Structure 1
Amino acid sequence: MNDIIQRLYVTGYQSYELGIFSEQDPKVKVIKNVLKRELVALIENGLEWVMISGSLGTEIWTGQIINELKESYPEVKLAIIFPFERFGSNWKEHNQLLLSELVQTADFVDAVSHQPYQNPGQFKNHVNFLLQHTDAALVVYDTEYPGKSKFFLGDVEKYLEQNPYELLTITMDDLENSSDFGDSV
């Protein structure tokens, strides 16, 4: 698919899946640097909207990167599309603060379900919404290190059977090749 990616969903490992329990962990800097490099290339090629769901880890870091990049690329916008209302309200206070800061700076915030969590179907509806409203997904994921994102990738594979969509990945090799990430895992 050679079309310009204008709307991108970014997801991947949650911080705990990578053994990251502090924003000061050196692995965060490595992941952010690789994400930033990928996002800048996409922005310079026409990317307008970056969407996240607000999950801890890859998605929060992506939101923080987009906020930093807005200084150099004011045309890029951040959308936070929650799967349901009050997403993250049961998190630890520090994590709620990270999410709250992003919500305050995002260009668009909404939830697919306007009810609090009720059932897993809300996540399925959320994924369907994201696939239908983006041109591509950038996923920090490696099949050798399974995590929650494997479910999203399964949905993307089914979606690709009948729809044009681009799937971009950042693997553990990509992260390790960018620095000493492997030494800190």
Structure 2
Amino acid sequence: MVKVCVVSGYKAQELGIFDQKHKGIHYIKKTIEKKLRNLIDEGLEWVLISGQLGVELWTGEVVAELKQEYPQLKLAVMTPFLQQEKNWSDTNQEYYRHVLGLADFVDSISKREYESPAQLRVKNQYLIEKSDGLVILYDEWKEGSPNYYLEPALKRFDREGYPIFYITPDDINSTVQEELEEY
């Protein structure tokens, strides 16, 4: 049973999304919602994200919406280091703070500001070790930031059967088709 699940995927720019008005975000969020609903029905209690722009912050918003229906669901934002948003645009910083405000728990794994990529590796390993499963938006044909979560997750899968739930481009296309058929 997956009680604590990490959710991650591509950063917004890796998907060609450069503002929050992009219509693709709606379909990505709907697809994440479907995956989380299945896990909630099986006992999911906590969703963990590290607060990166893109899939993770969209997941934060999805969890906040789901909490209205499932008040037992909780959101934790575990950033890799202090002030990860420091060099982001004002718009992205504001959006980040909005999602942090929706969380039930916020902390930084490293209690220092950015020093090296090692902090990101530690964050990925930490979240995989502290969770019961991973939901990941991933396209096997597209390299990118999800690989950094996938590597420790696959090692843990090999060791102990750690569940990995993929969201693929086909899943998102199915969501688009379902919505088009509803109209």
TM-score, normalised via structure 2 length: 0.93
Residue aligning to 1:48: 45
Question: Per-residue displacement from partner, 1:145-165 (whole Å, max 9, x unpaired)?
Answer: 221111221222223232341
CA distance in 2, matches of 1:12, 1:162: 23
Equivalent pairs, count: 178
Match of 1:149 in 2: 146
> Counterparts of 1:161 and 1:36 in 2: how far apart (Å)?
27
- CA deviations on 1:121-147 (whole Å, 9 max, x unpaired) are 111111121011100000001111221
Partners in 2 of 1:102 and 1:178 — Cα distance? 24
Unaligned ranges ≥5, structure 2: 178-183
Q: State the distance in 2 between where 1:41 and 1:105 align.
A: 22
List per-residue Cα deviations over 1:162-183 (Å, max 9, x = no partner): 2341111001111112216xxx
TM-score by length of 1: 0.92
1:18 corresponds, among 5, 15, 36, to 15
One-letter amino acid of the counterpart of residue 161, structure 1:
D
Select the residue among 168, 171, 185 that pairs with 2:168.
Answer: 171
The letter of the residue matching 2:91 is H
Identical pairs, percent: 35
1:1-185 to 2 correspondences below 5 Å:
4-179=1-176
Higher helix share: 2
| Matched position secondary structure for 2:69 | coil
Q: CA deviation at 1:80?
A: 0.1
Shift of 1:37: 0.8
Deviation digits for residues 83-121 of structure 1 (CA, Å, limit 9, x no counterpart): 011111110011111110111221000111000001111
Q: Which amino acid in the other structure matches residue 6 of structure 1?
A: K
For the residues of structure 2 that align with 1:45 and 1:136, how far apart are their CA atoms? 12
- RMSD over equivalenced CA pairs, Å: 1.4
1:177 & 1:55 partners in 2: Cα distance? Answer: 25
Which stretches of structure 1, 4 residues or more, deviate above 6 A after TM superposition?
Answer: none
